[in-house]
Amino acid sequence: MREYLLVLLVAAGVTYLLSGLARRLAFRYNAVAMVRDRDVHTKPVPYFGGISMWFGLAAAMLVAAQLPWLGSFPLVTHDAAAVLFAGGLICAVGVMDDMVELNALAKIAGQLLAAGVVVLNGVKVYWIPLPDRIFSLDDGTSIALTVVFIFVAVNAINLIDGLDGLAAGVVAIGAGAFFTYAYLLAWDQELVRATTSSLITVTTLGVCLGFLPYNVHRARMFMGDSGAMLLGFLLATSTISLTGQLDPSQLSNFGANAFAAYLPLLLPLAVMALPFLDLVLAYVRRTLAGKLWYQADKQHLHHRMLSLGHSHGRAVALLWLWSALVAFGVVLVGLLPNPITVAVLLCGVLLAALLTWGGRARRTADG
């Protein structure tokens, strides 16, 4: 755990220190978010947060490779290197988009290229848990499922990046939840605790924490597509890599709870519940309106929170709360299946619901 903590601190520190430099570069190369009708910010804000995030990721993984414990597992360092390189590719595509606004096909091509790099290096979905057995995937199905999952995750995080600090906070919460699951699973089953999944998630948590001081309301810089696509890619590959380094036969014994056996299938959905929900709603909404799924509008979940009467900061905090309830709630129910856990979770959901719709009540009363 000490080595994971060191990796987290390195990722956070390097990301924070380089964000100021990336901010100045964004101004120099005119990579600036101008104010548009669908935007919430009221003045131009520089992009390039993804650049500082990627270097934070690189620094953390280089340190991890030199540590006596994490660096002693060749499979972990190999898969981490593949993720780092592919993450650099998807970040570079995002940087170009932040500067010249690429069309949708160009961004999709970059996302598929990054997915192809990790697949070729063996980072792919090897199995999925089903109600009565563990289903091993053939090569074709494995590759297709991996590419689709990465594509969906990347675009889901990109879509939810609409309020200051929202995407970075949601991803930090999701990465923290998945790290908790992966680490406790290895500890409970007396497995090797050094996995690529744990390394990626703790590093992702670090880069998010390092970037948030620049990104919370009122943001001094945005992560841009370079950061949003990178974070979505890291969340996806952390989930995918676990299936290549974990014996699925161990899952059914975890916590003496059958539900825990399906956490690898449920947790990725829980970790990205809000981004996935926003993506699905956007696709349905735009399709019914006769638009393409990537054509922007101002009806995302964060826009709806503002329409309920919440301030910018309160809307972000509430969406963070919902993300934490879903992600950590699934982990807690899976690992501690008892009435107290369920009761605490239900109380949290009730509180979040009251806080969410309380803004609407206040606005109606004031109106």
Residue 27 belongs to what domain range?
Answer: 2-366
CB 16 within 8 A of CB 37: no
| pLDDT of res. 102 | 87
| pLDDT of res. 256 | 45
pLDDT at 153 over 70: yes
Quick one: pLDDT band at residue 261, thresholds 50, 70, 90? low
- Centre a 10 Å sphere on the Cβ of residue 222 and count the other Cβ atoms it contains: 28
| pLDDT of res. 39 | 55
| pLDDT of res. 4 | 94
pLDDT at 22 over 90: yes
- Mean per-residue pLDDT, 243-264: 58
pLDDT at 146 over 70: yes
pLDDT at 231 over 90: yes
**SS3 label, residue 134:** strand
| pLDDT of res. 341 | 87
- Mean per-residue pLDDT, 39-61: 87
Q: What single DSSP character describes residue 257?
A: -
Whether the model clears a pTM of 0.85, i.e. scores above it, the answer is yes
Percent over 90 (pLDDT), the chain: 46
Among residues 35, 45, 27, the alpha carbon closest in space to that of 216 is found at 45
pLDDT tens digits, 169-179? 999 999 999 89
pLDDT at 285 over 90: no
CA 108/CA 155 separation, integer angstroms: 9
| pLDDT of res. 249 | 61
pLDDT at 293 over 70: no
- Mean per-residue pLDDT, 139-148: 93
pLDDT at 197 over 90: no
User: At 46, phi and psi to the nearest 5?
Assistant: -70, 150
Quick one: pLDDT band at residue 335, thresholds 50, 70, 90? confident
| pLDDT of res. 255 | 46
Contacts of 334 (CB under 8 A, 6+ apart): 181, 255, 257, 259, 260, 263, 266, 267
Count of structural domains, the chain: 1
| pLDDT of res. 367 | 43
- Mean per-residue pLDDT, 61-70: 92
